Structure 1
Amino acid sequence: MKLRVISSLVIFLGSYLPLAAILVLQDISKASWDLPACPISIDALSRCQLPKLNNPTITLTFLGVTLLAFIFFIATINSIRGGQAAVINDVKQIPGDIINYVFPYVVSFMGVDISDKGKLSGFILFLAWLFLITHKSGQIFLNPLLILFDWKYYEITYSIGDHKRTEYALSQTPLRIGGSVRVKKVQDINIMNPKD
């Protein structure tokens, strides 16, 4: 099953929810950081004020889009069921390739000035290139945030009938040698679920 570009883009954006939160924090005005902490009391809400953002439209839009995309991504991957029955012959858990995921975070800490249109445009172009590379390589589902939902990345050898294959897979349940699973390929990643 191949994903359409729009679906891939939504899944890609969902993986950058933490980056959006970092950019919101970096956009808080200096005056807001200098305010005293809100007291812990019953009427604290009436005496506290939300921090002021320098570029609220851009940062809150990015945060909202990535949050919705992340929810869509989790709903999508959890809805993938069925597929061919297979038996696992060999399994090795591997860390996901997070180097592509880490680059934008490094850039954010180098100081993306959202109010500077040139720097913002360069950052958007950088994410666009990352998206194209990730989409074309078939690795769109390799999202390190999946770890929070117990998804693991494996290199597996499995058999479907008399045919043996060695490929990469994602599974929310631990995979074991001799285990029976259902395999559904999305892009170039196998989504594994326990056999019914």
Structure 2
Amino acid sequence: MKLRIIASLVVFIGSYFPLSLILLAQDFRYELLSADFCWPIGIGPCVMPFRNWTLSIPAFAICLVCVFFSFGVLKTVKPKIPVDVKEAKYIPAELMAYTLPYVVSFMSLEYKDTGKFVGLLVFLGWMFVITYRSGQLILNPLLIAFGWRLYEVTVSYPGDTEARTSWALSQSDLQPNTRCSVATIQDVMIIKSQRTEASD
């Protein structure tokens, strides 16, 4: 259970990589664009081009690492178990939970505004708990941007008449009565279509 929570938290943090990029851009000191480059920073006239770099850069770096971890896991998954897809229903991602923090970021939110920033962290913490408990953590807009789609599928294993319903992620357009290969991560099927008709 502990590993599942950590993995889920990594996926959740990675989904807000665009938000960290927005806040990083808002934290940049654009008046320094015309200044000459100098090194090392912090000595003499050399200054950091970010107002609150001790927060903005680590937050950006953490989200970036989580993004690479999330997509790295999906990339290394090799579906090998054959299943027959009986039904496949595409589920559009609910973007509202992910959209609200972006709207807030444009309402004068900066890292130096401690109260607002802490409030955002509390909000994101509650969103993680809600999405984790409701099983909607995989409704991730970043997955959509990279071609992944969420389905509710009913499948059966070859030679087994018992049908099972589950959520599945796939980069293929899943169709009923086809045979696919699956792997399972965190109780979610990862499906690769083989484009063959399933036997009755």
> What residue in structure 1 maps to residue 144 of structure 2?
147
Partner in structure 2 of residue 54 of structure 1: 51
Closer/same/farther in 2, CA of residues 84 and 118 from structure 1, 3 Å limit: same
The answer to whether the Cα contact below 8 Å between 1:139 and 1:189 also exists between their aligned partners in 2 is no
Q: Contact 1:152–1:170 at 8 Å: present in 2 too?
A: yes
Change (3 A) 1:151 1:9: same
Which residue identity is paired with 2:19?
L
Shift of 1:143: 1.4
Cα drift, residue 69 of structure 1: 0.5
Asked if residue 117 in structure 1 is aligned to residue 114 in structure 2, the reply is yes
Aligned CA distance change for structure 1 residues 103 and 189 (closer, same or farther; 3 Å)? farther
Partner in structure 1 of residue 70 of structure 2: 73
Q: Find out whether 1:31 has 2:28 as its counterpart.
A: no
**Alignment map for 1:1-196 (pairs within 5 Å):** 4-29=4-29, 31-32=31-32, 52-82=49-79, 84-160=81-157, 161-194=160-193
CA 1:191–1:2 in structure 2 vs 1: closer, same or farther (change >3 Å)? farther
Structure 1 residues 83 and 103, CA, compared in 2 at 3 Å: closer, same or farther?
Answer: farther
Cα distance change of structure 1 residues 88 and 114 upon mapping to structure 2, 3 Å threshold = same
After the TM superposition, list the runs of 4 or more consecutive aligned residues in structure 1 that deviate by more than 4 angstroms.
Answer: none
Q: Cα offset for 1:97?
A: 1.8
Residue 50 and residue 189 in structure 1: after superposition, are their counterparts in 2 closer, same or farther (change >3 A)? farther
Distance 1:27 1:75 in 2: 29
Give the Cα separation in 2 of the matches to 1:31 and 1:53: 11
Between the aligned partners of 1:31 and 1:145, the Cα distance in structure 2 is 32
Query: 2-side partners of 1:144 and 1:92: how far apart?
Result: 18
- Of stretches 154-163 and 98-107 in structure 1, the one that deviates more from structure 2 is 154-163
How far off is 1:130 after superposition?
A: 1.2
Gap regions ≥5 residues in structure 1: 39-43
Please state whether the residue corresponding to 1:163 is helix, strand or coil: coil
Percent identity between the aligned chains?
A: 38
Against the structure 1 CA distance between its residues 157 and 2, is the aligned structure 2 distance closer, same or farther, given a 3 Å change threshold?
farther
* Greater relative CO, 1 or 2 (CA 8 Å, sep 6+): 1
The amino acid that maps onto 2:118 is: S
Q: Give the letter for the 1:13 counterpart.
A: I
Cα displacement (A) at 1:132: 1.5
Matched residue of 1:170: which SS?
strand
